[in-house]
Amino acid sequence: MNFDLTEEQQMIQKMIREFSADKVAPGAVERDRMKAFPVEVFKELSEMGLMGLPFSEAYSGGGGDTISFAIVTEELSRACASTGITYSAHISLGGAPLHLFGTEEQKEKYLTPICTGESFGAFGLTEPNAGSDAGGTQTTAKEDGDDFVINGSKVYITNASHAKHLAITAITGNEGGKKEISAIIVPTDAEGFTVIDNYEKMGLNASNTTELVLDNVRVPKENLLGKRGNGFKQFLVTLDGGRIGIGAMAVGIAQAAYERALQYSKERKQFGKTLSQFQVTQFKLADMAMKIELARNMVYKAAWLKDEGRPFTKEAAMCKLYASEIAMEVANEAVQIHGGYGYMREYEVERMMRDAKLLEIGEGTSEIQRMVISKLIGC
């Protein structure tokens, strides 16, 4: 057993922590208010070589590991969760399926621009009638000569306005009445492809969440990602990795909310004492610190298992479920400790609470995580 980060992981943590404090945190309130995508932050992350962190150097990636990816996601989210989700989705949903299932040519053509930051990574699974039941996909891809002709729509897709291409799921056939779902890479500038960016969200306001409309979009058959009919399975594997990203985001948000509550409790005086002198506040903060520690350990364990090439589906679901639920609890308590000030935008804990809620929904709701875990423990 060794709970220490490697030298390289420590170096990445120090670098991204400093960058997040200096360059990401200062604009977070304003970006949330203005729904402004963090363009400048991502230019710098590209220059720092972090946009392809866990992918092979052969495609301009950083050759890093999943723990380092989790560290970067955690630190960015601690400063600004909109930046955190953009990064997490870029890597774990956008880049990962290409890295895992792409051919050599597909990786060169589509993964490389993701690693350099030239294109953002995105992933199109959810549809108006297929959310938790992602196999309920209705988008179709019909063969026509050397092409697929795709029709359908996708909802809530992160980063698509800034992506040059993305993998989506579509029905490519019916085998014995069973839907054949495949993954297909679609350029976002293809004729008939529309990206709509007009959701009014509760939180993560500076992140890009879009609706996609595919109206007779024609792509060559060589854009098929992985084996035909394996699209659904591939996306489930992709989501396992994505859940580590959501867990890391949750730890980052919870850490930020806790730090602010701790600091505030030492400054605010009522009844002649600081809040931190009341045992009720001390116990709240102790519980917050404990839960964050447990969540972080679980996120790192899932990431470590993935890096070791061992099964990690259960642990990824556990870390996502636990970390997202404690992030909501911690952010809620942080608002409570701030009292009326906590309800005000400038104190930021209200933003953290709004942002944290998505983590109990995206990449499989808490209920779906419990279903995954119960199946894997043999229920």
Ligand X SMILES: Cc1cc2nc3c(=O)[nH]c(=O)nc-3n(C[C@H](O)[C@H](O)[C@H](O)COP(=O)(O)OP(=O)(O)OC[C@H]3O[C@@H](n4cnc5c(N)ncnc54)[C@H](O)[C@@H]3O)c2cc1C
Would you count residue 209 as binding ligand X (CB under 6 A)? yes
Q: Which is nearer to ligand X, 17 or 179 (CB)?
A: 179
Candidates 15-23, 121-129, 143-151, 264-272 — which segment interacts with ligand X by CB under 6 A? Answer: 121-129
Residue with tokens 């639920």: 325
Write down the least CB distance from residue 307 to ligand X, Å: 24
Query: Under rule CB under 6 A, how many of the chain's residues touch ligand X?
Result: 21
Task: Specify whether 267 is catalytic.
Answer: no
Candidates 28-36, 66-74, 117-125, 263-271 — which segment interacts with ligand X by CB under 6 A? Answer: 117-125
Q: Which of 101, 167, 362, 369 binds ligand X (CB under 6 A)?
A: 362
Write down the least CB distance from residue 347 to ligand X, Å: 23
Would you count residue 295 as binding ligand X (CB under 6 A)? no
Would you count residue 364 as binding ligand X (CB under 6 A)? yes
Residues within window 305-324 making contact with ligand X, judged by CB under 6 A: none
Q: Which of 41, 204, 302, 372 binds ligand X (CB under 6 A)?
A: 204
Would you count residue 126 as binding ligand X (CB under 6 A)? yes
Write down the least CB distance from residue 91 to ligand X, Å: 12
Would you count residue 363 as binding ligand X (CB under 6 A)? yes
Q: Which is nearer to ligand X, 121 or 342 (CB)?
A: 121
User: What residues have CB less than 8 Å from 198, skipping those under 6 apart?
Assistant: 211
Would you count residue 156 as binding ligand X (CB under 6 A)? yes
Candidates 66-74, 137-145, 156-164, 259-267 — which segment interacts with ligand X by CB under 6 A? Answer: 156-164
Write down the least CB distance from residue 152 to ligand X, Å: 13
Q: Is the dihedral of CA 333, 337, 342, 346 positive or negative?
A: negative
Would you count residue 245 as binding ligand X (CB under 6 A)? no
Write down the least CB distance from residue 230 to ligand X, Å: 17
Beta-bridged to residue 184, according to DSSP, are 168, 224
State the catalytic residue, choosing from 74, 127, 348, 363: 363
Candidates 250-258, 267-275, 316-324, 358-366 — which segment interacts with ligand X by CB under 6 A? Answer: 358-366
Q: Which is nearer to ligand X, 62 or 124 (CB)?
A: 124
Catalytic site residues? Answer: 363
Kindly list the residues in this chain that would bind ligand X in the complex (CB under 6 A): 89, 93, 123-126, 131-132, 156-158, 204, 209, 358, 361-365, 367-368
